[in-house]
Amino acid sequence: MFTGIVQAVGRISAVERRSEGVQVAVDAGAFAEKDIAVGDSIALNGCCLTVVAIDAGAMRFDVSSETLRCTTGLDSIGTVNLEKALRLSDRLGGHLMSGHVDGVGIVERAEPVAEEGSVLLEVSAPSELARFVASKGSIAIDGVSLTVNTADGSRFSVNLIPHTLAETTLGALRTGARVNLEVDLIARYLERLSRRNY
């Protein structure tokens, strides 16, 4: 489990193609050298992956072809948001997340908000996920826990405060960018329970 509170920004520095998926090396500096061991779960842009090796500040992860099919940004060089798995003693600063990406959204608009230093981000979600997104509910974008401002059809908006822009990869998002989405766990279960026929 994760909370969507990003602990570091790392960089995928190498991608090695395998018969099934890829292995990626993530340069994470001090983040990789403190309290992380082979076998630990780390969220990369919101996707829970297992550390398979650690070497001089770089972590390696195997990414299956199924994970690549359901996500974006895990098979190419670039920056990624990093979060260690939640411990039972940790503060729950964001919202409960599984690290299982539900789908890929598209940034429709990234517009600075005058005088606030924040950015209004509008994203379109796949139609099968849109019903789980509600105003004032929680959503994870590339592993960052955010509060939904508005939800209308398949589109929703969030406000990115200056701290989020500075401490995560979301400040670099532009119109047309693809992002990993994880909808609220509770919304998924409520939707299932509300069905009359299983």
Residues 195, 104, 176, CA angle at the centre, nearest 5°?
A: 135
Q: Over the stretch 108-137, which tens digit does the pLDDT of each residue have?
A: 999 999 778 999 999 999 999 999 999 999
Give the pLDDT mean for 148-157: 97
Q: What is the CB-side half-sphere exposure of residue 136 using CA atoms within 13 A?
A: 0
Instruction: Write down the domain spans for the chain.
Output: 8-84, 103-194
Average pLDDT over residues 179-189: 90
Share of the chain above pLDDT 70, in %: 98
Return d(Cα 77, Cα 161) in angstroms, integer.
26
Q: What integer is the mean pLDDT of 53-74?
A: 94
According to the model, what pLDDT value does residue 198 have? 57
Say what the pLDDT of residue 64 is.
96
What Rg do the C-alpha atoms of the chain give, in angstroms? Answer: 17
The CATH number of 103-194, from 1.20.1050.10, 2.40.30.20, 3.40.50.720, 2.30.30.760, is 2.40.30.20
pLDDT in the model for residue 195: 75
- Range of weakest confidence among 50-64, 98-112, 158-172, 180-194: 180-194
Nearest-CA neighbor of 121 among 101, 150, 99, 79?
150
**Range of lowest pLDDT (17-21, 145-149, 177-181):** 17-21
pTM of the model: 0.93
How does residue 45 score in pLDDT terms, banded at 50, 70 and 90? very high
8-84: CATH number? 2.40.30.20
Q: Determine the pLDDT at residue 182.
A: 97
Q: What is the mean pLDDT of residues 96-112?
A: 95
Whose CA is closest to 10, among 73, 58, 55?
58
